[in-house]
Structure 1
Amino acid sequence: MYSVIRILFPALIAIGTFPSPASAYEFYNDGSTNIDANLSVGYGFFSVQRSYIDRPGATRWQEGYLKYGLSGGTAIPGAGSIYGAVSLLGSATWGDGDPGGFTTGRERRNALEDAYLGWKSGDSIPVLGKDGIDISAGSQYVNVGSGFLIKGDKVSAGRAVDDGRYDRGGAYYLASRVAFSRTAVLRLGGDTGWHGSAIWLKSNNHLQADTELAVGTLDYTAQPGTLGFTFVHGISIDKRYVSTPSRLDRPGMNTYSIRGDGDAGIPNTHFAFEYAYQTKRSGNDNGWYAEAGYTFRNVRWQPSLSYRYTRYSKDFDSLFQGGFGDRYQGEIASNYSFSYNFNTRIHDVGLTVHPSEKFTVTLMYFNFRTLSNRSTLDLDASELTLYLDWALTKHLQFSPNFGVYKPRKYAANGGNQTGSAAANFYANLMIVANF
């Protein structure tokens, strides 16, 4: 599959630079039934000055993925509609592999990604609103609430972890594999007023110990925002793939959360929070965040300023937490040094400007402090990152980012950065095309 990606990628990018009437090719449409062909391709070049796996010197590697498949639906007169999708995803890593020790640079995999079927009620049950019932099952991406606990099955290790025992195809940073292998999802009530869901998930991600979960949500959405509740119950794991002790607590573990998101009726603002409490055999833990932001709409480039405070107790289990821009905080911290989602508190300040409709610039500062360094690594650090996002066409996105990560300690005195506690400079260049 890696040779296919290498050969096709330049051609696919070239195709993506030309306008087309839709983001998916309409393969068939007779007015009630449609079938679309979908294609997504991504490539990234990464360079990091220092590693976190006792590897001296700089690390340089590349990642790529190619996702291709069909999606569609058919209307049932007076009874809603049926929808579904099937896709394959090829992923690869080249070069040194990542500095966190997940990939070697020799990962190549082509495997099933999406394979699901669903039914939406349409207007057939007026009391529940349009599409007030949505039932689906199969291999699919699932997001719960804000993504603080569950936002896809994203972690994609390669051959570097336990001699390939947890290999999922690499492309660790791009995280293109997001589907849970087996799901059953019931959503009730649409998107406004009272609405909720009941979900069963089964992962086949060995790094997640093939975790099985039951999830319930209840939300109320109005103009000022959404207030919601989430319950997650751990059903089972595969003990053959327990990579960290926290996985052993998942069977029988209950997580309760309350969350909110919206502008609270104040123009140009954004507020969000979530508090999660876990009960498990080894003890109780919690994780939470609160954030606020303001956009200066009448100022040139419409700058947005945001602040987020996050705290995770020592043994908090972040489950299937979301990616960057959701709950991952920092580039080095969240991907390689792991100072971001347990036993830590984080200050996060962001400034975003829009020089043009197609160009966005974001500067983010993170400060990490380890809550307890007894029997654990001391991962106190700061990180500063500049993100540039260009929508070159409606299909093609170019997203470089540059930054520096500065730990307080290194591997020889309680931290985990190789060589010294000097600043670690990094650069990432990514291109993604969807059509």
Structure 2
Amino acid sequence: MKYLRTSRGHAAAASLLVAASFLAGTVHAADAEQTNPLQFYTGSNNSYAKATLQVEVGLFDQGNSWFGNAREALGEDSDSWWESLIRPGLEGSYFLPNTQEIYGRVDAVQANTGGGLDAAASNAGLGDVSDLRVENAYAGWRSGNLFSSLGENFLDISFGRQQYKVGDGFLLYSYAGSGGDRGAYWIGGRRAAEYAGIVRMKTGGLNVDLVYLENDPISNDSTELGGATVNYTFNDNASLGGGLYTLDSDIDSRDGMNVFDIRGGVKPFAAANGPEALRPLRFDAEYVHEDRDDGFDAGNGWHITTSYQFEQVAWQPTLSYRYASFDENYDTLFYGFADWGSWYQGEIIGEYVLGNSNLDSHMVKLKVQPLEPVAVSLFYYNFTIHDAGDFGVKDDAYADELDLVIDWSVNDHLSLSLVGALAMPDDGATEHTGGDDDWSYVMLYGSIKF
């Protein structure tokens, strides 16, 4: 695994760490005086208005990118680059009688890529990229105690440019393209739909959403989605959900598609009051079926995950295993990053090479917490092509990948992450990319958020 090679990279990394140390101290001092330093209005009934600000920086360096054949695969070498994002905004909430609430948010994103070609070649031919545009711009209303028999905030209606999330982002999470002339491919600050109208209903453990949205892709091929999402939480140990959506799209294979989604999670031994040692065992799964007309084949994608936390062991390690399968007709739609490994599978392969289509993967993850603000995660991935012939290779064995992620939550406002990854090609990757070297990758990421 390489370190940042250039003097500019060393200086940038050092500057980020020095700034983090300084900000850690100053933010702690600010916290002691004021919990929301950018809040400029506070009403007697918990109404508020505040400015918001997020700054993100990523420094990237890699060796033997695209398994040593980046020049042929991308048209030029991709060694190191940087990304940054600045998101200023305004957010507010005003309470009416019966605790009804009107709320809203507007923000803009200034995204930048510089220093070289990113590993996805999204800025090929563009050089350094800088782009400013509105991200979120929405308003909404919550019912408070207006329908008191159904529970507080039974009804929540919102509309405008906003993000709609379902589960852990397997299907619906991010609706706007990043990278290219929009900049910041990895940071991915563009997630809001071009327009979304959402009606949320919640009573007890039942949640029902009605949604209509239009995505905001880099290309001109837009997609509209409408449908319903249902989720029921039985208790802390079990939940079951699903969704039914229909699409109207400029993309022929999406147009008229009906999407069926079912997902759930359970701690069976905790739910059944079983043996104490087995109660932390958890299973999660999701299955998506995409039904198409006009001669297009149906697509299917699914995963099953099992995890166990050793609660009585030092550092409380959590061990997880996941198998995921996506056939060659599966459309990834609007999946996104909810956590490391979900649903960009692998910091090299999943971020830059393969999407969640025509892919089978095994993932083993070990996460420990040596200190309260520090988490360390180790990942192993094995990737195979679901249908090698459809992908254009003879061997379905693609690659193995190891990732190490260290997350440090310095305080409520500042977080840092260090990522190291190594991808080792199998015959399928060599045939696909023309390279047979191990691909190493390191990233330093920092975020300041108010």
Same fold, TM-score > 0.5, yes or no: yes
Aligned counterpart in structure 2 of residue 118 of structure 1, from 140, 162, 170: 140
Report what 2:350 is aligned to.
Answer: 334
Distance 1:186 1:128 in 2: 16
Aligned counterpart in structure 1 of residue 285 of structure 2, from 273, 283, 286: 273
Distance 2:37 2:144 in 1: 23
Q: TM-score, normalised by structure 2?
A: 0.85
Alignment of 1:81-92 (within 5 A): 81-92=101-112
CA contact (8 A) 1:157 1:207 kept: no
Alignment of 1:212-231 (within 5 A): 212-223=224-235, 224-231=237-244
Task: Tell me how far 1:24 sits from its aligned partner.
Answer: 5.9
Superposed CA offset, 1:94-151 (max 9, x none): 0112122212441101111111000001111023211110000001111023321111
Q: 1:249 to 1:273 in 2, by over 3 A?
A: same
Report what 1:258 is aligned to.
Answer: 262
Q: Which runs of 5+ in 1 are unaligned?
A: 1-5, 159-166, 238-246
Q: 1:37 to 1:54 in 2, by over 3 A?
A: closer
Q: 1:110 to 1:103 in 2, by over 3 A?
A: same
Counting helix residues as a fraction of each chain, which structure ranks higher?
A: 2
Q: 1:383 to 1:154 in 2, by over 3 A?
A: farther
Report what 1:95 is aligned to.
Answer: 115
Q: Does 1:383 align with 2:401?
A: yes
**Aligned residue type for 2:404:** L
CA contact (8 A) 1:310 1:345 kept: yes
Q: 1:128 to 1:103 in 2, by over 3 A?
A: farther
**Aligned residue type for 1:380:** Y
Secondary structure of the 1:327 match is coil
Task: Tell me how far 1:262 sits from its aligned partner.
Answer: 3.9
**Aligned residue type for 1:174:** I
CA contact (8 A) 2:327 2:387 kept: no
CA contact (8 A) 1:17 1:395 kept: no
Distance 1:409 1:17 in 2: 50
Distance 1:406 1:121 in 2: 53
Distance 1:350 1:9 in 2: 28
Report what 1:351 is aligned to.
Answer: 366
Moved more, 283-292 or 322-331: 322-331
Q: 1:327 to 1:301 in 2, by over 3 A?
A: same
Secondary structure of the 1:336 match is helix
Q: 1:90 to 1:57 in 2, by over 3 A?
A: closer
Report what 2:306 is aligned to.
Answer: 292
Q: Does 1:432 align with 2:441?
A: no
Secondary structure of the 1:78 match is helix
Aligned residues: 406
Report what 1:184 is aligned to.
Answer: 197
Distance 2:91 2:19 in 1: 20
Task: Tell me how far 1:208 sits from its aligned partner.
Answer: 7.9
**Aligned residue type for 1:276:** V
Task: Tell me how far 1:249 sits from its aligned partner.
Answer: 1.3
Q: TM-score, normalised by structure 1?
A: 0.88
CA contact (8 A) 1:128 1:188 kept: no
Secondary structure of the 2:252 match is helix
**Aligned residue type for 2:231:** D
Superposed CA offset, 1:150-194 (max 9, x none): 112253031xxxxxxxx3x1101011111112010001115x422
CA contact (8 A) 1:24 1:38 kept: no
Q: Which runs of 5+ in 2 are unaligned?
A: 1-11, 271-278
Report what 1:315 is aligned to.
Answer: 329
Alignment of 1:25-174 (within 5 A): 25-32=38-45, 33-49=47-63, 50-51=65-66, 53-55=73-75, 57-78=77-98, 80-104=100-124, 105-158=127-180, 167=181, 169-174=182-187
Task: Tell me how far 1:207 sits from its aligned partner.
Answer: 4.2
Distance 2:374 2:219 in 1: 36
**Aligned residue type for 2:359:** T
Q: 1:199 to 1:375 in 2, by over 3 A?
A: same
Secondary structure of the 2:225 match is strand
Superposed CA offset, 1:243-271 (max 9, x none): xxxx4211100110110024245232332
Q: 1:107 to 1:147 in 2, by over 3 A?
A: same
Distance 2:392 2:312 in 1: 46
- Aligned-residue sequence identity (percent) comes to 30
